[in-house]
Structure 1
Amino acid sequence: MAKLLYRLGLGAAKRPLAVIFSWLVMLAIAAAAFLTFGGTLVSTIDIPGTPTAQTTDRLQEEFPDAARGTGNVVFQTVDGSELSTDQREAITTVLEDAGEVDGVAEVIDPFATEAELAEQQQQLTEGRQELKVAGQQLASAPAQLEAAQEELDAAAAELEAAQEQLDAGKHQALGAGLPEAAVEQQFATQQAQLDAAVEELEAGREQLAEERTNYEEGRAEYEEGQELVELGDRLLTTTNDYSVVSADGSAAIGTVQFVDQDMDVSTEIREAVVTTFTDAQIDGVDILPSQELSMAVPQVLGWAEVVGLVIAGIVLVVMLGTFITAGLPLLNALVGVGVGALAAMAFSSVVEMSSVTPVLGVMLGLAVGIDYALFIVHRHRTQLKTGMEIRHSIAMANGTSGNAVVFAGSTVVIALLALNLTGIPFLGLMGTVGGFVVVIAVLVAITLTPAMLSLLGHRALSKRERRQLNERADRTGVTKTLQPMSTARAVFTAIGTIAVLALIAIPVFSMRLGIPDGSAEAPDTSEYQAYAAQAEHFGAGRNAPIIAVADIPADLDQTDLLTTTVEQAEQIAALDEVEHVVPVGENEAGDILMYQIIPVHDANHEATVNLVYQLRDLDPAGEVTNLALAGHATGVIDISDALAEVLPLYLGVVVGLSLLIMVLVFRSLVVPLIASGGFVLSVGAAMGAVVAIYQWGWLGDIFMVHNPAPVLSFLPTIMIGVLFGLAMDYQLFISSGMREAYAHGTEARLAVQKGFVQGRAVVAAAAIIMVSVFGGFVYADDSYIRPIGFGLAIGVLFDAFLVRMLMVPALMHLLGPAAWYLPKWLDRILPDVDVEGAKLAELNTTDDAGRHADETATDTPVTTSRRKV
């Protein structure tokens, strides 16, 4: 590899314009691909297969309207007074304007919703009154029916007596010898009157029977009506005065419903809707679009990130001595980031890419791009100062430091690609994109850097350095004699750094994972103000609605359906942390009910997390056979649980990988254990610092944390992946010099000091640059980016300055020769990894090469009893 990189560097130095042109072409191609094929970045995070994702998919199938993307906008009076009629009409007009935006399905007017709720309440009240009147009527009906029955019975008795009297008269007449025909004729009129009376009696009986039937039917309807009204009252109780207009009338919540789901709503549509609201002017009313409505894609570079780059530039100027040389690593990093990030984002139309993904790529690309170029430039400048010929020096720098850069970059890429082992798509994609950008940064470092150095020539050195080179001053001055550190100092340093890191790591044991919501945004943004307004006027839980989907039999009648709806709502409402339960309705097939649950607290509150677990553990009420949940709060929990589950696996893989790589590089069993232990300490301390600041709120004013909340759910995994690669970089540049000196025969403890002195300047500069670049993102506008920037910056700070430059040298001093212990059988089977390019010695035969007697030990081969190291 070293020889290949030597030839690559020499070729780039000979044809610098061709190399530069090639990278410009690749940059143009990447930009064109992004503009042509780039899709929409999403601001939401989803893990397929989680309970929330499965329920959301069902909602899309069974309740397509409810599965659409939505966002709230809060209207509140400036002075806290009740919204006037004119203001309400103006709000309705603004919402109607938003509804005209392409991509918006409908808008929900809070005052229309409030009127519907009031109408339903009025209907329920009228129903109660009607039932009261009907009940009174039904109460008197039995007595009336009984009186009518008695009248009919009395009439029947009279008719029966009259008929008996008539029959007796007929019998007497026949006994007197009158002819039967004469008798019938004599009594015909009386008999006709009696028959008519009997018919009238039968009609009365039929009428009474009909009235009895009507009474029974009315009674049944009354009882059913009573049951329905009672169910309605019970259902109304579970809603607990749910409203979209505040109790004092000073605030109202409007809702915008998009045509597509949240992830499919384009940024242009969201911006058009938000612009409609922000451009509207209603006298005395603040219009506050919520975070769910805007979901803005974060800026890749803002003012804070630029400040970070400026600080990195200052460090480069101090390190390299000239502005033009200092600009070279910055320029190379920008080219690498441009090619890598734009090429990756060109695939955003093919894969679902989170808005955080390219930002992480830019963050990593800038940091490693600057550092990797710095390593090569620093080596080249060192060689130029010894009188080495320019092109040969460029090639040698590429074959030595460039070789280390390739190895270091490979460890970062491997750690990032290992994120795919988590099985979480968005996290794996972040690792893949980050790894791709790092690969581009490495390629830029070993090709574009040599080309640019060739164009610079001796201007890579300052005027003073060039003057000293031309004067060929006698370099036999007094050299400071190195001495190993004292054992007492080593003990104090080792114990002190371990204690400090362990102390800082303590908060990690109380770490909670979550996803930022509107409360994490800057206080001067509408997203935060909308969140705060909803919490103030409607309760904190209004920002964290939970959707419940209940499976029921499809053959329930209206009463049974309503009964089941009420029983399930009451069961949910009985939980302590539930504020409102609002039935939404059933699907067309009639086998699924949907509810909206408003918790007492916000999505990241521990009580809300416990509520979700309680809801999932419920034995469903009534005819409900299964209860499933969806929404932001449940999604946060599912994502956090999934990430927490894979975190130990990923940490184990990364630490195990670090042990194998370092055994291979340093040919020692002890050094890898020290390095990996230091990595665990630095990552633990970095996570502890993140918890203390972002979850506990310590130093919140400094780091823009005005509302402490759980740690970003995927931050620990990202930190482990990125910091592992960077830690291995620093370990390589610090420990390789120690290994070289020890292999040359230097006493073990003195070799530690020599290697440390040799590598500390470039490692310190590289770490400061990393901290500056990552630290610039601490003040980004996006609440996802800020903790990532801080975690990586503080992690690099701890790892480079406390672990690699204090703890590792101290422990290796204490161990002495034992630090390099490796069983002979293992030494025989391990391949020879020439990380520092020692095999280039055979190429270093020019006169210039022979001049650098005081060059660092890594420029010449070191031979042990069996192989080069």
Structure 2
Amino acid sequence: METSAPQRKRAAAVLVVALLALLASAVYGAGALDAFDLSRFASPGAESGRAGEVLWEEFGTGAPNVVLLARAADGDVDSVDSVAAGRALTAELAGYPGVVGVRSYWTDGAPTLRGEGGASALVLAHVPGDATEVRARVLPGLTEAFSREGGALAVDVGGSDELFRQAAGLARGDFLTAEAIVLPGLLVLLLLLYRRTVAALLTLGVGVLSVVATLALLRVVAGFTEVSTFAANLTLVMGIGLAVDYCLFVMTRFREESAAGASIEDAVRAATARAGRTVLFSAGTVAVSLSVLLLFPFPFLRSFAYAGILVPVTAGLGAVMVLPAALRLWGRRVVRATTQSTGEGRWHRVVTGVMRRPVLTGGLALVVVLLLASPFLGVRFGVPDERALPAGAPARVVTESIGEAFDVEESDALQVVTTAMEPGDDLAAYAAALSMVDGVAQVDSAAGRFVAGARVGEGDPGRAHGASTWLSVVPGSERLDADGPGLVAEVRAVGAPFAVLVGGYPAELADFRDAMLDRLPLVLLLILAATVLILFLMTGSVLIPVKATVLNLLSLAVMFGALVWVFQDGHLAGVIGFTPQGSFEPSIPILMFCVAYGLSMDYEVFLLSRIKEEWDRTGDNIAAVARGVQRSAPLVTMAAAILALTFAVYATGDVVFLQMLGVGMALAVLVDATLIRGVLMPALMRLTGRANWWAPGPLRRLHARIGLRE
């Protein structure tokens, strides 16, 4: 039957509501980037955070997060002109709104603040507040006001917050650039795939709706909790990619039903019932995979969880509600005059050949996968530094200049604080012991300045009052770069005559890493268990979810192997345009694991839905695998190519974190959709035979009761 007038009216109403939602979301979501927050690598409630709170409450200061690198025009920071200019610069910074705790070489006299050769010196300061307050509201004006050339001193602004402020700005630019590249590129690909303009526009339209609606919803979320600006980047690539994937699946099924002689209305119903069920399974799997990021107590990672839940929901609803309504109205303009056969095509022949020799073909594919994954055995985890920015970025240039001229990290000093000091406690002995820790260049305290256990300078009485005092433990660059977390642990292990808290930027990074690694086993267990449960509800099988999990982990191993080979070891650095750091900051691989795992399951769901459909119809395992792959593999391959394109755009960006996400995810989806699903999966399905569909009696009865069906 054709679509009736009432049905057309209902379809038109759905499209009107969708259009209004798109317009409202576009208006409201336009301010989303401004509503998002900037985040620090910090663990709420950690020792480093408590130390910072005590330092602020008791002394009104904090760890330096603003650094001015001053270079003397005459090459001597001790000349009369340089000293006068340096003291004036220090006073000017101390008077800048929102700045506290200012000290410099000219006011403090610390040799660690004087560069090698005496041509440069540092001014350090603390700007209190969260990352958004510091980076978005204070630093832009401060950086402009204090960056200067000419005069007795040339000044550049750096520091940890300035580094990440510039990284966030570059990421925002990458987001806008990606939008300008991805949308036209996808439209061209969809036109080549569909050969119908209406089909391409409808698919891309659902993708745009998903992105815009998610950004608007994220802005709502930002009204209640912190949402990182980097969530926008994930929203773009996943929103477009998943929406296109889901629409491809529904559209392909609609065309198949139409080619088989079904009317427009019947084809829409069949496509929505069968492909729609698969889309909802896939959306649920992706959402679950990313929702586990909520278990981490870090706003940065939780922001990706919010985006990872909202994107598949908006994309899935667009594919099963908006697209079917559009097909009811314009289905005739979507159906091609001739439709590719779903019989024994190229993929059927490939899969049949694989299953003829499953041990040989599967074994060879496994060897290739393991070889590609092998670099991951050499992975090293570290902390982020200036190399996350492109060469030439102002904050990176400042940091590198400081590293060349100063052999200690005064701006990265550990802050040791206490509110429990009693008369008679030997503060000097404790400070001396801290200065003996391997890699510590200097310790400043109220009892004096200590180097290698000896007192070399006067103490600062402002560092103590009543039962409270604080010490600065200044690390050497070499030790901090080689093993920052180890240095923090050794400082904390030094026996103190009173209870102490150790803070500062290196301690914040160490606490962040430790808290993340502590939660990691639980996160991995939950993501694996949840996706196994979803696949069981879909298939009623015990073995298939387990095999899917193993294949997913192999796919992820290839991704991580490539990341180590490219970004840690530096291969292709000149091609992509980045500076290898020699290690990974662990939060990015964890994020990529969750995203890639969800997307891998996305393709698994697509394939299994068609294979199970054939199995239920024929009861022939080999035929079901071959026909199911033939029906779904062309779609999965095209979907993977489109999703890889959306991720690969970020490989051309300026921030290493986003380049890693782009390269790693693009490779993961391509390998997963071809080598893993095209060779290893059918080989395993052939070897396990009818056992693929087995489940013990109690689980069979459970699936009969609660299993998800059309």
| 1:343-354 matched pairs, under 5 angstroms | 343-354=217-228
Pick closer, same or farther for the CA change 1:745–1:346 going to 2, 3 Å.
closer
Q: Secondary structure at the match of 1:260?
A: coil
* TM-score (structure 2 length as normaliser): 0.86
Change over 3 Å in CA distance of 1:446–1:92 after alignment to 2: farther
Is the CA contact (8 Å cut-off) linking 1:16 and 1:451 kept in structure 2?
A: yes
> What does residue 21 of structure 2 align with?
23
- What per-residue deviation string (whole Å, max 9, x for no partner) do you get for residues 707-766 of structure 1? 314322222332332222222211111122222222222632232111111111111111
Work out the CA distance in 1 between the residues paired with 2:440 and 2:374.
34
Could you tell me how far 1:370 is from its partner in structure 2?
Answer: 2.3
Residue 807 (1) aligns with residue 680 (2): yes
Partner AA of 1:270 in structure 2: L
State the alpha-carbon separation in 1 of the partners of residues 296 and 284 from structure 2. Answer: 20
CA pair 20-115 structure 1, distance change in 2 beyond 3 A: closer
Alpha-carbon distance between aligned partners in 1 of 2:461 and 2:662, rounded to the nearest angstrom: 45
Once superposed, what is the RMSD of the aligned Cα atoms? 3.6
Aligned residue number for residue 267 of structure 1: 136
Question: What does residue range 546-557 of structure 1 map to in structure 2 within 5 Å?
Answer: 546-550=414-418, 553-556=421-424
Q: Which residue of 2 aligns with 1:51?
A: 47
Partner of 1:517 in structure 2? Answer: 385
**Structure 2 residue corresponding to 1:735, chosen from 580, 588, 608:** 608
**For the residues of structure 2 that align with 1:585 and 1:522, how far apart are their CA atoms?**
42
Gapped regions of structure 1 (runs ≥ 5): 1-7, 118-238, 470-474, 838-869
Are the aligned partners of 2:42 and 2:298 in contact in 1 as well (CA < 8 Å)?
no
Match of 2:550 in 1: 677
CA distance in 2 between partners of 1:17 and 1:679 (Å): 37
Other-structure match for 1:114: 106
Tell me the equivalent position of 1:357: 231
CA distances 1:126-171 after superposition (whole Å, capped 9, x unpaired): xxxxxxxxxxxxxxxxxxxxxxxxxxxxxxxxxxxxxxxxxxxxxx
Q: Is the 8 A contact 1:332 1:449 kept in 2?
A: yes
Which moves more between the two structures, 708-717 or 802-811?
708-717
Q: Distance in 1 between matches of 2:341 and 2:369?
A: 43
Residues 552 and 625, structure 1, Cα contact 8 Å, conserved in 2: yes
C-alpha distance in structure 2 between counterparts of 1:348 and 1:92, whole Å? 42
2:190 matched to which residue of 1?
A: 316
CA–CA distance in structure 2, aligned partners of residues 327 and 339 of structure 1 = 18
- Percent sequence identity over matched residues? 23
Partner of 1:579: 441
Distance 1:284 1:358 in 2: 40
Helix, strand or coil: the match of 2:501?
strand
AA aligned to 1:571 is: A
1:832 CA drift (Å)? 6.5
- Give the direction of change, closer, same or farther, for the CA distance of 1:477–1:820 in structure 2 (3 Å limit): closer
Shift of 1:11: 7.2
Are residue 251 (structure 1) and residue 120 (structure 2) matched? Answer: yes
Q: In the TM superposition, what is the alpha-carbon distance from 1:492 to its structure 2 partner?
A: 2.6
2:467 corresponds to: 591
Determine the C-alpha separation between the residues in 1 that align with 2:302 and 2:9: 36
Match 1:689 to one of 548, 562, 574: 562
Cα pair 2:354 2:362 within 8 Å, conserved: no
How far 1:315 moved relative to its partner? 3.0
2:125 and 2:328 map into 1 onto residues whose CA distance is 59
Structure 2, unaligned runs of 5 or more: 1-5, 446-459
Q: Distance in 2 between matches of 1:476 and 1:681?
A: 32
Matched, 1:617 2:493: yes
Does residue 72 (structure 1) correspond to residue 67 (structure 2)? The answer is: yes
Q: Which moved more, 1:583-592 or 1:735-744?
A: 583-592
| Counterpart code for 1:690 | L
Kept in 1, the 8 Å contact 2:604–2:677? The answer is yes
> SS at the partner of 2:628?
helix
**1:817 maps to 2:693:** no
Partner of 1:226: none
Letter in 1 for 2:423: D
> What SS does the corresponding residue of 1:579 show, helix, strand or coil?
strand
CA positional deviation for 1:782:
3.3
Q: Which amino acid counterpart does residue 106 of structure 2 have in structure 1?
A: E
Q: Could you tell me how far apart the structure 2 residues matched to 1:500 and 1:799 are?
A: 13
Deviation at 1:615, TM superposition (A): 1.1
In the alignment, is residue 492 of structure 1 matched against residue 360 of structure 2? Answer: yes
- Show the counterpart of 1:407: 281
1:533 is displaced (CA, Å) by: 0.8
| Counterpart Cα distance in 2 of 1:286 and 1:588 | 32
Deviation per residue, 1:546-578 (Å, 9 max, x gap): 22224553335xxx7xxx343222212212211
Pair 261,815 (structure 1): closer, same or farther in 2 beyond 3 Å = closer
Structure 1 residues 267-666: aligned runs within 5 Å: 267-278=136-147, 285=154, 287-293=156-162, 295-296=164-165, 297=168, 298-299=171-172, 301-304=175-178, 306-422=180-296, 424=298, 426-454=300-328, 456-461=330-335, 465-466=336-337, 484-485=352-353, 487=355, 489-539=357-407, 541-542=409-410, 544-550=412-418, 553-556=421-424, 564-583=426-445, 589-601=465-477, 605-620=481-496, 624-666=497-539
State the shift of 1:249 in Å.
2.7
Q: 1:260 to 1:656 in 2, by over 3 A?
A: closer
By how many angstroms is 1:493 displaced? 2.6
Q: CA deviation at 1:791?
A: 3.3
What's the offset of the Cα at 1:282? 5.8
- Determine the C-alpha separation between the residues in 2 that align with 1:86 and 1:359: 48
Give the superposition deviation at 1:807: 0.8
State the SS of the aligned residue for 2:99.
strand
In 1: Cα distance, 2:244 partner to 2:36 partner: 29
Report if the CA contact (8 A) 1:369-1:445 is conserved.
Answer: yes
Asked if 1:758 corresponds to 2:620, the answer is: no
CA contact (8 A) 1:572 1:615 kept: yes
Q: Partner amino acid for 2:602? A: D
Q: Which amino acid is the alignment partner of residue 112 of structure 2? A: Y
CA distance change for structure 1 residues 10 and 671 in 2, over 3 Å: closer, same or farther? farther
Residues 85 and 324 (structure 1), Cα distance of their counterparts in 2 relative to 1, 3 Å cut? farther
Note the 1:760-839 alignment, pairs <5 A: 760-831=633-704, 837=710
